[in-house]
C-alpha cells in the first residue's frame, strides 16, 4: 500500500476485535512516529502504550467510551512543551510536532491492517492522573489501536479541492 492509498483508506474505527496487536506491528507503528519530522528536530514527544486492562480502566475517567477502553492497545501521544521549538514571536509548535508523529503512526497502522481513531475530547487532567504523567507534560491526543471490527469505505465527506485551495492569494 502506498502512502496515498493509506490516506484514502484510513477511517476512524470505533469497534475493535479482541485480537491483540503483534509486538512487531506495534514496534513498526511506533517507529513511524519516531521518524516524524519536528521543528528544528527537537522531537518533543513521548508515547505511552497502554495494554494493561487495569490501566485502561483507569483511563476511562478521561474518555468514557466502551470501544476506546476495549481496544487491545491505546496510544497516548504526549508533548514536552519546554523541549519544543518556539517561533521568535513566541508561537509554540509542540502540538504540530506531536500531531505529525501520531499521523505517521496512524497511516502506518492503516497499512498494517490496524484501525485507529484520533481522540482529543478527553479530560487531560484525568488522563495525566491515570497514567502518572508529570506536570510539565501535555497530552495532545490518543488513539485506540487494534484490528477493526467494522467495515468502513474510503474517506468521504471532505470539502472539494476548489473550495479550500487558493492560488497565489487568498
Ligand atoms: C484532532 C482530532 C480529534 C478527534 N477527536 C475525536 C474524539 O475525541 N472522539 C471521536 O470519536 N473522534 C474524534 N476524531 C475523529 C473525527 O471525528 C474523524 O476523523 C472525522 O469525523 C472524519 O472521519 P474519518 O476519520 O473516518 O475520515 C478526531 C479527529 C481528529 C483529527
Residue of 117, 70, 77, 74 whose CA lies nearest to 97: 77
Instruction: Compute the C-alpha angle 74/41/106, nearest 5°.
Output: 25
**Res 12: pLDDT:** 98
**Res 109: pLDDT:** 98
**Res 134: pLDDT:** 98
Q: Where are the alpha helices (DSSP H) in the chain?
A: 3-9, 23-34, 53-59, 66-69, 94-111, 124-131
CA 106 – ligand 1 centroid, Å: 12
CA 95 – ligand 1 centroid, Å: 16
Dihedral of CA atoms 99, 85, 48, 59 in degrees, nearest 10, equals -70
CA 117 – ligand 1 centroid, Å: 6
How many residues does this entry show for the chain?
A: 170
**Res 151: pLDDT:** 95
CA 118 – ligand 1 centroid, Å: 5
Please tell me the distance from the alpha carbon of residue 75 to that of residue 134, in angstroms, as a whole number: 17
Nearest CA to ligand 1 atom 29: 118
Q: Can you list the residues of the chain whose pLDDT is less than 50?
A: none
The rounded mean pLDDT for the chain is: 98
Residue 164 is placed in which grid cell? Answer: 479550500
Pocket test for ligand 1, best of 65, 69, 119 (most atoms within 8 A of CB): 119
Question: What is the CB neighbour count within 10 angstroms for residue 79?
Answer: 25
Answer yes or no: are the C-beta atoms of 112 and 146 closer than 8 Å.
Answer: no
Q: Is the shortest distance between the CB of 11 and ligand 1 below 6 Å?
A: yes
Nearest CA to ligand 1 atom 30: 118
**Res 155: pLDDT:** 98
**Res 147: pLDDT:** 98
Is 46 in a helix, a strand, or coil? strand
Nearest CA to ligand 1 atom 14: 118
Which residue ranges form the domains of the chain, and what is each CATH number? 3-8+25-148 (3.40.109.10)
Is 75 in a helix, a strand, or coil? strand
Amino acid at each position: 500500500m502506498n502512502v496515498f492509498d493509506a490516506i484514502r483508506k484510513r477511517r476512524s474505527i470505533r469497534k475493535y476485535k479482541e485480537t491483540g496487536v503483534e509486538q512487531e506491528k506495534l514496534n513498526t507503528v511506533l517507529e513511524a512516529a519516531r521518524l516524524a519530522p519536528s521543528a528544528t528536530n527537537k522531537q518533543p514527544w513521548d508515547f505511552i502504550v497502554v495494554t494493561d486492562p487495569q490501566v485502561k480502566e483507569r483511563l476511562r475517567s478521561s474518555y468514557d467510551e466502551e470501544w476506546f477502553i476495549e481496544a487491545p492497545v491505546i496510544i497516548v501521544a504526549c508533548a514536552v512543551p519546554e523541549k519544543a521549538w518556539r517561533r521568535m514571536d513566541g508561537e509554540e509548535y509542540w502540538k504540530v510536532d506531536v500531531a505529525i508523529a501520531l499521523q505517521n503512526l496512524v497511516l502506518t497502522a492503516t497499512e498494517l491492517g490496524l484501525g485507529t481513531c484520533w481522540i482529543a475530547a478527553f479530560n487531560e487532567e484525568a488522563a495525566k492522573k491515570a497514567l502518572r504523567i508529570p506536570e510539565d507534560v501535555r497530552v495532545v491526543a490518543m488513539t485506540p489501536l487494534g484490528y477493526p471490527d467494522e467495515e468502513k469505505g474510503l474517506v468521504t465527506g471532505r470539502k472539494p479541492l476548489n473550495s479550500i485551495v487558493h492560488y497565489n492569494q487568498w
